Amino acid sequence: MVQATYNFPVGFLWGAATAAHQVEGGNNNNNWARWEAEPGRILNGDRSGLACDWWRGRWKEDLDRAVETGQNAHRLSIEWSRVQPTPDRWDEDALDHYREIIRGMHTRGLTPMVTLHHFTDPLWFYDQGGWGMQKAPALFEQFAIRVVEALKEFVNLWVTINEPNVYVLSGYMGTDFPPGKNDTNAAFAVMCNLIRGHAAAYRAIKRVQKNSNVGFALNYRSLKPASASPIDHALASFAHNSYNDSFARTIKTGNLRFAAKRAAIPEAVGTQDYLGINYYTRDLVRFAPLAPRDMFMKRGFPPGAELSSTGFIANVPEGMFEALHWAKQFDLPIYITENGVEDPTDELRPRYLVEHLHQVWRAVNFNYPIKGYFHWSLVDNFEWERGWSQRFGLWGLDVETQARIRRRSVDLYAEICRQNAISSEIVQRYAPGSFSRLFPES
């Protein structure tokens, strides 16, 4: 049997990711709280409720578990509606609470990566027009300044906006996220303002903290043509350019191309110190003449791909390398800011994890400047419109009792983190079905 080890660079960050609304509990002053209260919006009528009860203190035990299992970093987000509950009020107690959490990470030896916007908007901001209003970037800039001033003692790694492409697609070209408009013109206006908001926040953070590292987290979805048809190829290219390419490309060139629309946003150029990649799966794109609302395209998973428990994710690890190869063109450090699979039985997760991390190692071995990996997620959490139906956590969660359930993947990831490597021994022990793929005989 082959014996080998895939080593990662010294100083590599190993962590997990969370988001405020998904773990804190008791967030009742944002657009998602209202969305959850509307019948039919969330699968099974689920509500976030206490979530993982972080706001009342359970962050301590979860971060203790992270450290005890070899992690040296953690990505979390700040809930804007807690920090600025009304347009004219900043809540210093909320900022102190976040300062306590960040200080707790620091004392535990965890490097914090802090996200300023992870899908949720304060109700006052949302009711005024949200990211569609002209003043949205300036309001977000003010929020960024407040948070960075409060936390800069312990944080210098910032994510301005998480998955702006998902925010726009799901809320303004679909009905999964608020406001559920399904309006291409509104979607384009929001995308423009998210880019302007990122740029404004970037420059504000740099003024407050000169040694900061600031980027954003993109959801990269591998989009390939379903056939050799030129139409399928053209549609897959169009989808890739709009979904994956538009935000990052605008920051490089100042020119936005999104959903067949264009805009010049020169102030965005150069407002990025690294690129965050969230990768989960691949889609095949096919021409669908009867689907005008979907821009005449349908997406589906590759035939024969191993699917997650609800069919939400296909295990296509090669897409991770594709995402990192795409990211390399921007000549910036790269962080994998999210990667994981929903799997309540923890049967697929070990294979998914080692196979995707092997693709990360492949990229590292080609000298791609990858600095860290954050698994989604540390513990099962509220998965937006899918509620509690999906379980992404290394640790399971009993929503009723708040008990944490140790999955076998906890120990798998712990060994990788501690060794800063994927060894043949680890794969044989935890994911033997992946062994021949990662360690072929020849």
Residue 201's CATH number: 3.20.20.80
Sign of the Cα pseudo-torsion (399, 402, 408, 412, in order): positive
Give the pairing type, strands 111-117 and 73-77. parallel
Distance CA 325, CA 246 (A): 16
The CA distances from residue 201 to 35, 138, 215, 360, in Å, are 27, 8, 10, 29
Supply the pTM of this predicted model.
0.98
Position 417 in a domain: no
Whether residue 130 is predicted with pLDDT greater than 80 in this model: the reply is: yes
**Other C-beta atoms lying within 10 Å of the C-beta of residue 226:** 20
Question: What positions carry a catalytic annotation?
Answer: 163, 338
Position 435 in a domain: no
Position 81 in a domain: yes
pLDDT over 90, % of the chain: 97
Distance CA 139, CA 135 (A): 6
Position 229 in a domain: yes
Position 432 in a domain: no
Domain span at residue 100?
A: 12-409
Position 429 in a domain: no
Q: Check residue 422 and give its pLDDT.
A: 98
Whether residue 442 is predicted with pLDDT greater than 80 in this model: the reply is: no
- Mean pLDDT over 12-41 rounds to 98
Of the pLDDT bands very low, low, confident and very high (cuts 50, 70, 90), residue 291 is: confident
Structure-token pair, residue 1 = 């049997």
Of the pLDDT bands very low, low, confident and very high (cuts 50, 70, 90), residue 292 is: confident
Q: Tens of pLDDT along 260-277?
A: 999 999 999 999 999 999
pLDDT over 70, % of the chain: 100
The CA distances from residue 176 to 40, 324, 367, in Å, are 10, 28, 38
**Other C-beta atoms lying within 10 Å of the C-beta of residue 32:** 25
140 Cβ contact partners less than 8 Å away, ≥ 6 residues apart: 116, 117, 197, 200, 201
Position 431 in a domain: no
- Mean pLDDT over 355-360 rounds to 98
Q: Check residue 248 and give its pLDDT.
A: 98
Whether residue 121 is predicted with pLDDT greater than 80 in this model: the reply is: yes
Position 69 in a domain: yes
Q: How many domains does the chain have?
A: 1
Which amino acid is present at 372? G
Q: Check residue 176 and give its pLDDT.
A: 97
